[in-house]
Chain A
Amino acid sequence: MEHNGRRTFLGVCLGGLAAAVAAVTVWPVYRYLAPRSTRATAARVDIPEKEIPEGEAKFFEFNGASAVLVRKRGGGLIALSAVCTHLGCIVQWEKDKQDFLCPCHGGHYTPDGVVTAGPPPKPLAKLPFSVANGVITVG
Protein backbone atom coordinates (compact mmCIF):
# COMPACT_ATOMS: atom_id res chain seq x y z
CA MET A 1 0.00 0.00 0.00
CA GLU A 2 2.78 2.33 1.15
CA HIS A 3 4.64 1.53 -2.05
CA ASN A 4 1.56 2.08 -4.21
CA GLY A 5 0.91 5.47 -2.62
CA ARG A 6 4.37 6.61 -3.63
CA ARG A 7 3.93 5.27 -7.14
CA THR A 8 0.69 7.14 -7.58
CA PHE A 9 2.23 10.32 -6.21
CA LEU A 10 5.21 10.14 -8.56
CA GLY A 11 2.91 9.24 -11.42
CA VAL A 12 0.79 12.33 -10.78
CA CYS A 13 3.92 14.52 -10.55
CA LEU A 14 5.20 13.14 -13.83
CA GLY A 15 1.82 13.63 -15.49
CA GLY A 16 1.73 17.24 -14.24
CA LEU A 17 5.22 17.87 -15.52
CA ALA A 18 4.36 16.36 -18.91
CA ALA A 19 1.27 18.57 -19.11
CA ALA A 20 3.38 21.65 -18.28
CA VAL A 21 5.94 20.75 -20.97
CA ALA A 22 3.14 20.20 -23.47
CA ALA A 23 1.61 23.57 -22.57
CA VAL A 24 4.83 25.57 -22.97
CA THR A 25 5.40 23.86 -26.32
CA VAL A 26 1.90 24.22 -27.72
CA TRP A 27 1.33 27.84 -26.58
CA PRO A 28 4.20 29.45 -28.58
CA VAL A 29 3.29 27.38 -31.64
CA TYR A 30 -0.35 28.41 -31.29
CA ARG A 31 0.59 32.09 -30.95
CA TYR A 32 2.95 31.75 -33.92
CA LEU A 33 0.15 30.38 -36.09
CA ALA A 34 -2.72 32.51 -34.78
CA PRO A 35 -4.03 35.15 -37.24
CA ARG A 36 -1.89 38.20 -36.59
CA SER A 37 -4.69 40.73 -36.33
CA THR A 38 -8.34 40.50 -37.30
CA ARG A 39 -8.29 44.23 -38.07
CA ALA A 40 -6.14 44.09 -41.17
CA THR A 41 -8.06 47.14 -42.43
CA ALA A 42 -9.50 50.09 -40.60
CA ALA A 43 -12.73 49.86 -38.64
CA ARG A 44 -13.53 53.43 -39.81
CA VAL A 45 -13.34 54.52 -43.41
CA ASP A 46 -13.74 58.02 -44.84
CA ILE A 47 -14.92 58.38 -48.44
CA PRO A 48 -15.57 61.74 -50.19
CA GLU A 49 -19.22 62.02 -51.23
CA LYS A 50 -18.34 62.99 -54.81
CA GLU A 51 -16.73 59.58 -55.42
CA ILE A 52 -20.18 58.00 -55.52
CA PRO A 53 -22.42 59.56 -58.21
CA GLU A 54 -26.09 58.64 -58.44
CA GLY A 55 -26.75 55.04 -59.47
CA GLU A 56 -23.21 53.91 -58.75
CA ALA A 57 -21.54 51.81 -56.07
CA LYS A 58 -18.11 51.91 -54.47
CA PHE A 59 -16.43 48.86 -52.97
CA PHE A 60 -13.85 49.20 -50.19
CA GLU A 61 -12.14 47.29 -47.39
CA PHE A 62 -13.80 47.70 -44.03
CA ASN A 63 -12.87 46.00 -40.77
CA GLY A 64 -11.06 43.13 -42.51
CA ALA A 65 -13.89 42.41 -44.97
CA SER A 66 -15.41 43.87 -48.16
CA ALA A 67 -18.09 46.51 -48.00
CA VAL A 68 -19.96 48.67 -50.51
CA LEU A 69 -21.56 52.13 -50.59
CA VAL A 70 -24.44 52.69 -53.08
CA ARG A 71 -26.20 55.87 -54.08
CA LYS A 72 -29.60 54.83 -55.34
CA ARG A 73 -31.36 56.57 -58.20
CA GLY A 74 -33.06 59.45 -56.43
CA GLY A 75 -30.22 60.06 -54.07
CA GLY A 76 -30.58 57.68 -51.07
CA LEU A 77 -27.22 56.53 -49.71
CA ILE A 78 -26.67 53.11 -48.15
CA ALA A 79 -23.68 51.16 -46.78
CA LEU A 80 -23.73 47.36 -46.90
CA SER A 81 -21.46 44.42 -46.27
CA ALA A 82 -20.48 43.06 -49.72
CA VAL A 83 -20.23 39.51 -48.39
CA CYS A 84 -23.04 37.34 -49.81
CA THR A 85 -25.09 35.76 -47.05
CA HIS A 86 -25.19 32.42 -48.90
CA LEU A 87 -21.58 31.11 -48.94
CA GLY A 88 -19.53 34.25 -48.62
CA CYS A 89 -18.66 35.34 -52.17
CA ILE A 90 -18.41 39.08 -52.86
CA VAL A 91 -21.42 40.57 -54.64
CA GLN A 92 -21.14 42.74 -57.80
CA TRP A 93 -23.00 45.93 -58.59
CA GLU A 94 -24.99 45.78 -61.84
CA LYS A 95 -25.38 49.39 -62.80
CA ASP A 96 -27.77 48.75 -65.71
CA LYS A 97 -30.15 46.66 -63.56
CA GLN A 98 -29.55 48.68 -60.38
CA ASP A 99 -29.09 45.56 -58.26
CA PHE A 100 -26.44 43.32 -56.71
CA LEU A 101 -25.56 39.98 -58.30
CA CYS A 102 -23.62 37.30 -56.52
CA PRO A 103 -21.80 35.45 -59.35
CA CYS A 104 -21.21 32.28 -57.31
CA HIS A 105 -24.76 30.87 -57.32
CA GLY A 106 -26.79 33.64 -58.89
CA GLY A 107 -28.09 35.42 -55.78
CA HIS A 108 -29.74 38.81 -56.43
CA TYR A 109 -30.22 41.69 -54.00
CA THR A 110 -31.85 45.11 -54.28
CA PRO A 111 -29.66 48.18 -53.63
CA ASP A 112 -31.00 48.01 -50.05
CA GLY A 113 -29.60 44.50 -49.70
CA VAL A 114 -32.95 42.66 -49.80
CA VAL A 115 -32.84 39.24 -51.49
CA THR A 116 -34.85 39.10 -54.71
CA ALA A 117 -33.67 35.79 -56.22
CA GLY A 118 -31.34 32.87 -55.67
CA PRO A 119 -30.19 31.00 -52.59
CA PRO A 120 -29.08 33.76 -50.13
CA PRO A 121 -31.07 33.22 -46.91
CA LYS A 122 -30.71 36.73 -45.46
CA PRO A 123 -30.36 40.31 -46.67
CA LEU A 124 -26.88 41.88 -46.87
CA ALA A 125 -25.83 43.31 -43.50
CA LYS A 126 -26.29 47.09 -43.17
CA LEU A 127 -23.35 49.15 -41.96
CA PRO A 128 -23.68 52.36 -39.90
CA PHE A 129 -22.40 55.56 -41.50
CA SER A 130 -22.67 59.30 -41.23
CA VAL A 131 -22.17 62.19 -43.66
CA ALA A 132 -20.53 65.48 -42.71
CA ASN A 133 -18.86 68.20 -44.83
CA GLY A 134 -19.05 66.13 -48.01
CA VAL A 135 -17.33 63.13 -46.41
CA ILE A 136 -19.02 59.78 -45.75
CA THR A 137 -17.71 58.04 -42.64
CA VAL A 138 -18.49 54.33 -42.39
CA GLY A 139 -18.17 52.65 -38.99
Chain B
Amino acid sequence: MALFKRLIDWIDVRIGAREIVAKELTGYLLPRNINAWYSMGSILLFIFAMQVVTGILLLIYYVPDADKAFKSVSFIMNEVPFGWLIRTCHAIGSNMMVLVLFLHMLSVLFMNSYKSPREFNWLTGFILFTLVQGISLTGYLLPWSQLSFWATTVATNSANAIPVAGPYLVEFLRGSKLVGPPTLGRFFALHVALIPLGMAAVVGAHLFFLQRTGVSTPPFGQKETANQWQGDGYRYESHPGGIPFFPNYALEDLRSIFIYLACFLAVVFFAPNLFFTSDSFLPANPLQTPAHIKPEWYFLANYQTLKIFPNEFIGLSVQGAAMTFLALLPFIDRTRERHPLKRPLFMICAVGGILLWVGLSVWGHYS
Protein backbone atom coordinates (compact mmCIF):
# COMPACT_ATOMS: atom_id res chain seq x y z
CA MET B 1 0.00 0.00 0.00
CA ALA B 2 2.77 2.41 0.91
CA LEU B 3 4.43 1.53 -2.35
CA PHE B 4 1.18 2.18 -4.22
CA LYS B 5 0.83 5.60 -2.55
CA ARG B 6 4.40 6.46 -3.52
CA LEU B 7 3.70 5.53 -7.12
CA ILE B 8 0.58 7.76 -7.11
CA ASP B 9 2.61 10.58 -5.52
CA TRP B 10 5.29 10.16 -8.18
CA ILE B 11 2.70 10.55 -10.94
CA ASP B 12 0.76 13.28 -9.11
CA VAL B 13 3.67 15.70 -8.64
CA ARG B 14 4.34 15.46 -12.35
CA ILE B 15 0.90 15.69 -13.99
CA GLY B 16 -1.46 16.68 -11.17
CA ALA B 17 -3.45 13.43 -11.41
CA ARG B 18 -5.27 13.99 -8.10
CA GLU B 19 -6.54 17.33 -9.32
CA ILE B 20 -8.10 15.64 -12.38
CA VAL B 21 -9.70 12.97 -10.19
CA ALA B 22 -11.06 15.63 -7.82
CA LYS B 23 -12.46 17.68 -10.66
CA GLU B 24 -13.72 15.04 -13.11
CA LEU B 25 -14.55 12.05 -10.92
CA THR B 26 -15.12 12.54 -7.18
CA GLY B 27 -15.87 16.23 -7.53
CA TYR B 28 -17.96 15.78 -10.67
CA LEU B 29 -21.44 16.14 -9.22
CA LEU B 30 -24.61 14.88 -10.89
CA PRO B 31 -28.18 16.02 -10.17
CA ARG B 32 -29.71 14.32 -7.13
CA ASN B 33 -32.73 13.13 -9.12
CA ILE B 34 -30.61 11.47 -11.82
CA ASN B 35 -32.04 8.14 -13.01
CA ALA B 36 -30.91 4.88 -14.61
CA TRP B 37 -31.65 6.15 -18.11
CA TYR B 38 -28.52 8.25 -17.84
CA SER B 39 -26.57 4.97 -17.89
CA MET B 40 -27.54 4.19 -21.47
CA GLY B 41 -24.58 6.20 -22.77
CA SER B 42 -22.16 4.19 -20.64
CA ILE B 43 -23.73 0.94 -21.80
CA LEU B 44 -23.25 2.14 -25.39
CA LEU B 45 -19.58 2.89 -24.73
CA PHE B 46 -19.22 -0.60 -23.29
CA ILE B 47 -20.93 -2.20 -26.31
CA PHE B 48 -18.79 -0.18 -28.71
CA ALA B 49 -15.65 -1.44 -26.93
CA MET B 50 -16.97 -5.03 -27.08
CA GLN B 51 -17.67 -4.70 -30.81
CA VAL B 52 -14.15 -3.40 -31.42
CA VAL B 53 -12.53 -6.24 -29.46
CA THR B 54 -14.65 -9.06 -30.94
CA GLY B 55 -14.28 -7.48 -34.38
CA ILE B 56 -10.47 -7.47 -34.17
CA LEU B 57 -10.58 -11.10 -33.07
CA LEU B 58 -12.79 -12.03 -36.04
CA LEU B 59 -10.32 -10.30 -38.40
CA ILE B 60 -7.74 -12.94 -37.47
CA TYR B 61 -9.65 -15.68 -39.31
CA TYR B 62 -12.08 -13.81 -41.58
CA VAL B 63 -11.06 -13.51 -45.26
CA PRO B 64 -12.65 -10.61 -47.21
CA ASP B 65 -12.74 -12.42 -50.54
CA ALA B 66 -16.00 -13.37 -52.25
CA ASP B 67 -14.77 -16.92 -52.82
CA LYS B 68 -13.54 -17.42 -49.28
CA ALA B 69 -15.61 -15.21 -46.97
CA PHE B 70 -18.43 -17.67 -46.34
CA LYS B 71 -15.99 -20.54 -45.81
CA SER B 72 -13.92 -18.50 -43.39
CA VAL B 73 -17.00 -17.63 -41.34
CA SER B 74 -18.07 -21.31 -41.27
CA PHE B 75 -14.54 -22.15 -40.19
CA ILE B 76 -14.77 -19.63 -37.33
CA MET B 77 -18.14 -21.05 -36.28
CA ASN B 78 -17.25 -24.74 -36.51
CA GLU B 79 -13.50 -25.22 -36.22
CA VAL B 80 -11.81 -22.44 -34.27
CA PRO B 81 -12.11 -23.00 -30.50
CA PHE B 82 -14.70 -20.53 -29.15
CA GLY B 83 -15.00 -18.99 -32.61
CA TRP B 84 -18.78 -19.44 -32.34
CA LEU B 85 -18.72 -17.38 -29.14
CA ILE B 86 -16.74 -14.50 -30.60
CA ARG B 87 -18.82 -14.40 -33.77
CA THR B 88 -22.17 -14.72 -31.98
CA CYS B 89 -21.15 -11.96 -29.55
CA HIS B 90 -20.25 -9.67 -32.46
CA ALA B 91 -23.45 -10.35 -34.41
CA ILE B 92 -25.79 -10.12 -31.43
CA GLY B 93 -23.83 -7.18 -30.00
CA SER B 94 -24.56 -5.20 -33.15
CA ASN B 95 -28.30 -5.73 -32.71
CA MET B 96 -28.07 -4.87 -29.02
CA MET B 97 -26.19 -1.70 -29.86
CA VAL B 98 -29.03 -0.51 -32.07
CA LEU B 99 -31.54 -1.43 -29.37
CA VAL B 100 -29.70 0.42 -26.59
CA LEU B 101 -29.14 3.33 -28.95
CA PHE B 102 -32.92 3.58 -29.41
CA LEU B 103 -33.38 3.55 -25.63
CA HIS B 104 -30.74 6.26 -25.22
CA MET B 105 -32.43 8.43 -27.86
CA LEU B 106 -35.87 7.86 -26.36
CA SER B 107 -34.70 8.80 -22.86
CA VAL B 108 -33.04 11.96 -24.19
CA LEU B 109 -36.22 12.66 -26.12
CA PHE B 110 -38.69 12.20 -23.26
CA MET B 111 -36.54 14.07 -20.75
CA ASN B 112 -36.26 16.87 -23.30
CA SER B 113 -32.53 17.08 -22.71
CA TYR B 114 -31.86 17.86 -26.38
CA LYS B 115 -32.92 21.47 -25.74
CA SER B 116 -30.51 24.41 -25.53
CA PRO B 117 -27.65 24.36 -24.76
CA ARG B 118 -27.39 20.65 -25.76
CA GLU B 119 -27.99 20.92 -29.52
CA PHE B 120 -24.42 19.77 -30.20
CA ASN B 121 -25.00 16.67 -28.09
CA TRP B 122 -28.11 15.86 -30.07
CA LEU B 123 -26.46 16.52 -33.44
CA THR B 124 -23.36 14.43 -32.71
CA GLY B 125 -25.73 11.78 -31.34
CA PHE B 126 -27.70 11.85 -34.55
CA ILE B 127 -24.50 11.40 -36.57
CA LEU B 128 -23.68 8.40 -34.36
CA PHE B 129 -27.12 7.00 -35.11
CA THR B 130 -26.49 7.12 -38.87
CA LEU B 131 -22.98 5.70 -38.39
CA VAL B 132 -24.38 2.79 -36.36
CA GLN B 133 -26.86 2.12 -39.16
CA GLY B 134 -24.02 2.27 -41.67
CA ILE B 135 -21.74 -0.08 -39.75
CA SER B 136 -24.62 -2.56 -39.36
CA LEU B 137 -25.48 -2.44 -43.04
CA THR B 138 -21.89 -2.91 -44.21
CA GLY B 139 -21.20 -5.65 -41.65
CA TYR B 140 -24.26 -7.55 -42.79
CA LEU B 141 -22.67 -8.25 -46.18
CA LEU B 142 -19.38 -9.62 -44.87
CA PRO B 143 -20.42 -13.28 -44.21
CA TRP B 144 -21.34 -13.44 -47.92
CA SER B 145 -24.38 -15.61 -47.24
CA GLN B 146 -27.59 -15.65 -49.29
CA LEU B 147 -29.08 -13.32 -46.69
CA SER B 148 -26.11 -10.89 -46.81
CA PHE B 149 -26.02 -10.85 -50.55
CA TRP B 150 -29.70 -10.26 -51.22
CA ALA B 151 -30.30 -7.91 -48.31
CA THR B 152 -27.45 -5.76 -49.65
CA THR B 153 -28.83 -5.99 -53.17
CA VAL B 154 -32.21 -4.68 -51.98
CA ALA B 155 -30.76 -2.01 -49.67
CA THR B 156 -28.37 -0.53 -52.23
CA ASN B 157 -31.05 -0.76 -54.90
CA SER B 158 -33.28 1.73 -53.05
CA ALA B 159 -30.91 4.54 -54.06
CA ASN B 160 -32.18 3.92 -57.61
CA ALA B 161 -35.24 6.01 -56.79
CA ILE B 162 -33.17 9.21 -56.62
CA PRO B 163 -33.82 11.08 -59.88
CA VAL B 164 -31.03 11.42 -62.46
CA ALA B 165 -28.07 10.35 -60.26
CA GLY B 166 -29.82 7.25 -58.82
CA PRO B 167 -28.58 4.50 -61.16
CA TYR B 168 -25.01 5.78 -61.06
CA LEU B 169 -25.18 6.10 -57.26
CA VAL B 170 -26.24 2.46 -56.95
CA GLU B 171 -23.35 1.39 -59.14
CA PHE B 172 -20.98 3.58 -57.12
CA LEU B 173 -22.17 2.12 -53.81
CA ARG B 174 -21.71 -1.40 -55.16
CA GLY B 175 -18.51 -0.78 -57.09
CA SER B 176 -20.14 -2.72 -59.94
CA LYS B 177 -23.50 -3.04 -61.70
CA LEU B 178 -24.64 -5.80 -59.35
CA VAL B 179 -23.52 -6.69 -55.84
CA GLY B 180 -20.33 -8.70 -56.26
CA PRO B 181 -16.68 -9.00 -55.18
CA PRO B 182 -16.05 -5.22 -55.59
CA THR B 183 -18.92 -4.54 -53.16
CA LEU B 184 -17.36 -6.80 -50.57
CA GLY B 185 -14.05 -4.90 -50.84
CA ARG B 186 -15.55 -1.49 -50.21
CA PHE B 187 -18.02 -2.62 -47.55
CA PHE B 188 -15.18 -4.37 -45.74
CA ALA B 189 -13.06 -1.20 -45.71
CA LEU B 190 -16.02 0.86 -44.50
CA HIS B 191 -16.97 -1.66 -41.84
CA VAL B 192 -13.57 -2.29 -40.26
CA ALA B 193 -11.77 1.01 -40.80
CA LEU B 194 -13.62 4.12 -41.89
CA ILE B 195 -16.87 3.86 -39.91
CA PRO B 196 -15.31 2.66 -36.61
CA LEU B 197 -12.73 5.46 -36.73
CA GLY B 198 -15.49 7.94 -37.55
CA MET B 199 -17.55 6.62 -34.67
CA ALA B 200 -14.67 6.89 -32.22
CA ALA B 201 -14.11 10.49 -33.27
CA VAL B 202 -17.79 11.44 -33.01
CA VAL B 203 -18.13 9.66 -29.63
CA GLY B 204 -15.20 11.82 -28.51
CA ALA B 205 -17.02 14.96 -29.68
CA HIS B 206 -20.26 13.77 -28.04
CA LEU B 207 -18.50 13.38 -24.68
CA PHE B 208 -16.61 16.63 -25.10
CA PHE B 209 -19.88 18.53 -25.54
CA LEU B 210 -21.32 16.75 -22.51
CA GLN B 211 -18.28 17.74 -20.45
CA ARG B 212 -18.56 21.40 -21.52
CA THR B 213 -22.31 21.84 -20.94
CA GLY B 214 -22.63 19.56 -17.91
CA VAL B 215 -25.25 16.85 -17.45
CA SER B 216 -28.90 17.94 -17.72
CA THR B 217 -31.24 17.80 -14.73
CA PRO B 218 -34.05 15.30 -15.33
CA PRO B 219 -37.42 17.06 -15.38
CA PHE B 220 -38.95 14.41 -13.12
CA GLY B 221 -39.54 15.12 -9.44
CA GLN B 222 -38.79 18.81 -9.80
CA LYS B 223 -41.13 21.73 -9.10
CA GLU B 224 -39.61 23.97 -11.73
CA THR B 225 -39.27 22.09 -15.01
CA ALA B 226 -38.77 24.93 -17.48
CA ASN B 227 -35.40 25.17 -19.17
CA GLN B 228 -33.29 27.63 -17.16
CA TRP B 229 -30.80 28.36 -19.90
CA GLN B 230 -30.61 32.06 -20.73
CA GLY B 231 -28.33 32.11 -23.75
CA ASP B 232 -26.59 35.28 -22.56
CA GLY B 233 -23.21 33.63 -22.02
CA TYR B 234 -21.44 30.33 -21.55
CA ARG B 235 -22.19 28.68 -18.23
CA TYR B 236 -21.38 25.14 -17.12
CA GLU B 237 -24.48 23.52 -15.65
CA SER B 238 -23.21 22.45 -12.24
CA HIS B 239 -25.19 20.56 -9.60
CA PRO B 240 -24.10 21.80 -6.16
CA GLY B 241 -24.85 19.25 -3.46
CA GLY B 242 -25.29 16.53 -6.11
CA ILE B 243 -24.19 12.91 -6.30
CA PRO B 244 -20.47 12.34 -7.01
CA PHE B 245 -19.86 10.57 -10.31
CA PHE B 246 -17.17 8.47 -8.65
CA PRO B 247 -17.80 6.21 -6.85
CA ASN B 248 -21.58 6.69 -6.58
CA TYR B 249 -22.82 7.01 -10.13
CA ALA B 250 -19.97 4.95 -11.59
CA LEU B 251 -21.32 2.04 -9.54
CA GLU B 252 -24.80 2.62 -10.91
CA ASP B 253 -23.32 2.65 -14.42
CA LEU B 254 -21.57 -0.62 -13.61
CA ARG B 255 -24.81 -2.14 -12.36
CA SER B 256 -26.57 -1.09 -15.58
CA ILE B 257 -23.75 -2.61 -17.63
CA PHE B 258 -24.12 -5.90 -15.74
CA ILE B 259 -27.88 -5.93 -16.28
CA TYR B 260 -27.19 -5.33 -19.96
CA LEU B 261 -24.63 -8.17 -19.97
CA ALA B 262 -27.17 -10.53 -18.41
CA CYS B 263 -29.68 -9.80 -21.20
CA PHE B 264 -27.00 -9.94 -23.88
CA LEU B 265 -25.52 -13.25 -22.70
CA ALA B 266 -29.02 -14.73 -22.32
CA VAL B 267 -29.50 -14.18 -26.06
CA VAL B 268 -25.97 -15.37 -26.90
CA PHE B 269 -26.39 -18.65 -25.03
CA PHE B 270 -30.10 -19.40 -25.22
CA ALA B 271 -31.22 -17.85 -28.52
CA PRO B 272 -28.03 -17.60 -30.59
CA ASN B 273 -30.00 -17.80 -33.84
CA LEU B 274 -32.46 -15.06 -32.93
CA PHE B 275 -31.09 -12.74 -35.59
CA PHE B 276 -30.16 -15.36 -38.16
CA THR B 277 -32.50 -16.90 -40.72
CA SER B 278 -31.97 -20.07 -42.73
CA ASP B 279 -30.61 -17.93 -45.59
CA SER B 280 -27.69 -16.89 -43.40
CA PHE B 281 -26.44 -20.49 -43.48
CA LEU B 282 -26.25 -20.71 -47.30
CA PRO B 283 -23.37 -19.25 -49.31
CA ALA B 284 -24.30 -16.33 -51.59
CA ASN B 285 -25.60 -17.38 -54.98
CA PRO B 286 -25.93 -14.39 -57.37
CA LEU B 287 -28.16 -16.41 -59.69
CA GLN B 288 -30.79 -17.48 -57.19
CA THR B 289 -32.87 -15.03 -55.16
CA PRO B 290 -34.33 -16.68 -52.07
CA ALA B 291 -37.99 -16.01 -51.21
CA HIS B 292 -38.88 -13.43 -48.52
CA ILE B 293 -35.68 -11.46 -48.19
CA LYS B 294 -36.16 -9.07 -45.26
CA PRO B 295 -33.74 -6.56 -43.76
CA GLU B 296 -32.73 -6.55 -40.08
CA TRP B 297 -35.54 -5.63 -37.65
CA TYR B 298 -34.41 -2.01 -37.25
CA PHE B 299 -34.66 -1.41 -41.01
CA LEU B 300 -38.11 -2.99 -41.38
CA ALA B 301 -39.91 0.37 -41.04
CA ASN B 302 -37.74 1.86 -43.81
CA TYR B 303 -38.37 -1.23 -45.92
CA GLN B 304 -42.14 -1.05 -45.45
CA THR B 305 -42.22 2.71 -46.15
CA LEU B 306 -40.55 2.07 -49.50
CA LYS B 307 -43.18 -0.54 -50.30
CA ILE B 308 -46.37 1.35 -49.41
CA PHE B 309 -45.78 4.36 -51.64
CA PRO B 310 -46.65 3.84 -55.29
CA ASN B 311 -43.50 5.70 -56.25
CA GLU B 312 -40.15 4.79 -54.69
CA PHE B 313 -38.96 8.37 -54.87
CA ILE B 314 -41.82 9.49 -52.62
CA GLY B 315 -41.05 6.70 -50.16
CA LEU B 316 -37.40 7.74 -50.07
CA SER B 317 -38.27 11.44 -49.70
CA VAL B 318 -40.59 10.72 -46.78
CA GLN B 319 -37.79 8.90 -45.01
CA GLY B 320 -35.34 11.69 -45.76
CA ALA B 321 -37.79 14.22 -44.39
CA ALA B 322 -38.34 12.19 -41.21
CA MET B 323 -34.57 11.88 -40.64
CA THR B 324 -34.05 15.60 -41.26
CA PHE B 325 -36.84 16.43 -38.82
CA LEU B 326 -35.21 14.20 -36.20
CA ALA B 327 -31.78 15.75 -36.78
CA LEU B 328 -33.13 19.28 -36.42
CA LEU B 329 -35.46 18.56 -33.50
CA PRO B 330 -33.72 20.88 -31.00
CA PHE B 331 -34.09 23.75 -33.48
CA ILE B 332 -37.75 22.99 -34.21
CA ASP B 333 -38.93 22.35 -30.65
CA ARG B 334 -38.01 25.58 -28.90
CA THR B 335 -40.42 25.71 -25.94
CA ARG B 336 -38.91 26.07 -22.46
CA GLU B 337 -41.01 23.44 -20.71
CA ARG B 338 -39.16 20.14 -20.29
CA HIS B 339 -41.61 17.88 -18.44
CA PRO B 340 -43.24 15.59 -21.04
CA LEU B 341 -46.50 15.36 -19.08
CA LYS B 342 -46.86 19.13 -19.23
CA ARG B 343 -46.49 19.01 -23.00
CA PRO B 344 -49.52 17.25 -24.54
CA LEU B 345 -48.72 18.15 -28.14
CA PHE B 346 -45.14 16.88 -27.75
CA MET B 347 -46.42 13.65 -26.19
CA ILE B 348 -48.92 13.08 -29.00
CA CYS B 349 -46.23 13.59 -31.65
CA ALA B 350 -43.59 11.52 -29.85
CA VAL B 351 -45.82 8.58 -28.91
CA GLY B 352 -47.56 8.75 -32.30
CA GLY B 353 -44.20 8.68 -34.07
CA ILE B 354 -43.02 5.69 -32.07
CA LEU B 355 -46.29 3.80 -32.68
CA LEU B 356 -46.02 4.57 -36.37
CA TRP B 357 -42.48 3.23 -36.45
CA VAL B 358 -43.46 0.08 -34.52
CA GLY B 359 -46.54 -0.38 -36.71
CA LEU B 360 -44.55 -0.07 -39.92
CA SER B 361 -41.94 -2.51 -38.58
CA VAL B 362 -44.55 -5.12 -37.64
CA TRP B 363 -46.27 -4.64 -40.99
CA GLY B 364 -42.93 -4.97 -42.76
CA HIS B 365 -42.21 -8.16 -40.83
CA TYR B 366 -45.49 -9.84 -41.81
CA SER B 367 -45.91 -8.42 -45.31
Interface residues of A (CB under 8 A from B): 28-29, 31-34, 36
Contacts and interface: CB of A to CB of B under 8 A. Distances in A.
Contacts of B60: 32-33
A88 B82 CA distance: 32
A33 B80 CA distance: 9
Nearest to B80: A32
B92 to A, nearest CB: 15
Q: Which of A29, A32, A33, A36 lies at the interface centre, i.e. has the most chain B CB atoms within 10 A of its CB?
A: A32
Q: Which of B57, B82, B85 lies at the interface centre, i.e. has the most chain A CB atoms within 10 A of its CB?
A: B82
Main secondary structure of the interface of A (DSSP, over half): helix
B57 A29 contact: yes
B131 interface: no
A28 B83 CA distance: 9
Given A28-B85, A29-B82, 11 more contacts: A28-B81, A28-B82, A28-B86, A29-B57, A29-B86, A31-B81, A32-B80, A32-B82, A32-B86, A34-B81, A36-B80
Nearest to B57: A32
A31 B57 CA distance: 12
A28 B57 CA distance: 11
A34 B61 CA distance: 12
B159 to A, nearest CB: 38
A117 to B, nearest CB: 41
Interface string B166-207: 000000000000000000000000000000000000000000
A31 B76 CA distance: 12
Contacts of B82: 28-29, 31-32
A34 B57 CA distance: 12
A69 to B, nearest CB: 33
Contacts of B80: 32, 36
A63 B243 CA distance: 63
Contacts of A34: 81
16 contacts: A28-B81, A28-B82, A28-B85, A29-B86, A31-B82, A32-B57, A32-B60, A32-B80, A32-B81, A32-B82, A32-B86, A33-B57, A33-B60, A34-B81, A36-B79, A36-B80
Question: Ordered nearest first, which 9 A-B pairs have the shortest CB separation?
Answer: A28-B82, A31-B81, A32-B82, A31-B82, A28-B85, A32-B86, A32-B81, A32-B80, A32-B57
Nearest to B81: A31
Contacts of A28: 81-82, 85-86
Nearest to B83: A32
A33 B57 CA distance: 8
Contacts of B83: 32
A36 B60 CA distance: 13
B156 to A, nearest CB: 33
A36 B85 CA distance: 17
Contacts of B57: 29, 32-33
A32 B85 CA distance: 10
A28 B60 CA distance: 15
Interface in B53-86: 57, 60, 79-83, 85-86
A26 to B, nearest CB: 11
Nearest to B258: A21
Nearest to B61: A32
Nearest to A31: B81
Contacts of A29: 57, 82, 86
Nearest to B53: A29
Contacts of A31: 81-82
Contacts of A36: 79-80
Contacts of A32: 57, 60, 80-83, 86
A32 B83 CA distance: 6
B131 to A, nearest CB: 27
A96 to B, nearest CB: 43
Contacts of A33: 57, 60
Contacts of B81: 28, 31-32, 34
A100 to B, nearest CB: 36
Nearest to A27: B82
Contacts of B86: 28-29, 32
A31 B82 CA distance: 7
Q: Which of B60, B81, B83, B86 lies at the interface centre, i.e. has the most chain A CB atoms within 10 A of its CB?
A: B81
